[in-house]
Amino acid sequence: MQLVTTVQDLQALADRERAAGRRIALVPTMGALHAGHLSLVREARRRADRVWVSVFVNPAQFDDPADLDRYPRTLEADLEACRRAGVDAVFQPEVGELYPAGCQTWVEVAGLSRPLCGATRPGHFRGVTTVVSKLLLAAKPHVAVFGEKDFQQLVLIRRMVRDLGFDVEIVGSPIVREPDGLALSSRNARLDPEARRQARVLVAALDAAGRAAAAGERRGAALLHVARNEIAKAPRARIDYVELRDPDSLEPTPAELHGPALLALAVCFDPLEGVAGASVRLIDNRLLRPED
């Protein structure tokens, strides 16, 4: 497994692989790799001859500097996980490599960045789309694989690639969950034991809404009420948003569903009263289908 740290070296490697007729897949990550990331690696392996993983904690997508400081950095463990998974190369640049001094160019998908996570995290998605564009230009992959847990991010990247004409296929890979259903996330490790137990209300909310839709409920307000009721069972859960959106445009769904609808959740779990610490924000989603 090769470790590459500069854009120039990665582009040269990509040129050699492409000249040899080999197909490249890129899995962009911010490190702290878990089973969810490794599922993306497996999907990438099914689609390409060479699998590359980027490990870069992107400062441009953090609106809170303290959140950036808290983000776990486990490079040695990440490299070992990549070796075991058969990754061919890891791209691990320094911040200055992707954001050189005087950098003033940004990539933004305007409309899709505004709702859901964009409403409370200003600038977040501008940072995401900018760094992903830089990674695609550096790695020159034929395909890039992203997790569906960050569904809004996936929609934005697909739109960016289409709008700017990037020659790359964007693949979404299903959410990987822990045994009790909680979506895998590097943030889960920051939950104290009681908050971790209460976090199961996210999947309970998705399950309850899914059951209601499968039983014939088509009223969006009723489905949202079902989901919110489940989350309310967790005393330390604080809702950021619970929304139904069109899975392609991210526009609000009509009052009555007539097609697939994305049920998207963002919930914060606050620290115990009197205990120092920061809230942990978790996201999850499910596609509800009226025909289910």
Gap between the Cα atoms of 167 and 162, Å rounded: 9
118 occurs within a structural domain? yes
3-state class (DSSP) for residue 268: strand
Domain at 265, CATH number: 3.30.1300.10
Provide block-wise average pLDDT over 10 residues at a time, the chain (292 residues): 98 98 98 97 98 98 91 96 98 98 97 96 96 98 98 98 98 97 95 97 98 95 98 97 98 96 97 79 95 56
Both 45 and 138 in one domain: the answer is yes
For residue 37, indicate whether it is catalytic.
yes
**Residue 277 belongs to what domain range?**
186-286
180 occurs within a structural domain? no
pLDDT of residue 277: 76
Cβ neighbours of 16 (radius 10 Å): 10
Indicate the number of domains in the chain: 2
Q: Choosing from 34, 37, 124, 258, which is the catalytic residue?
A: 37
Both 190 and 266 in one domain: the answer is yes
Both 104 and 212 in one domain: the answer is no
Residue 274 exposed, middle or buried by CB count within 10 Å (0-12, 13-18, 19+): exposed
Residues 6+ apart with CB under 8 A from 96: none
pLDDT of residue 260: 95
Last residue of a domain, one of 117, 151, 173: 173
Residues 6+ apart with CB under 8 A from 24: 14, 17, 18, 48, 49, 50, 52, 139, 140, 141, 142, 143
Both 158 and 210 in one domain: the answer is no
181 occurs within a structural domain? no
Residues 6+ apart with CB under 8 A from 170: 143, 144, 146, 154, 157, 158, 161
User: How far is the CA of 200 from the CAs of 47, 195, 196, 208, 213, in angstroms?
Assistant: 33, 9, 7, 12, 20
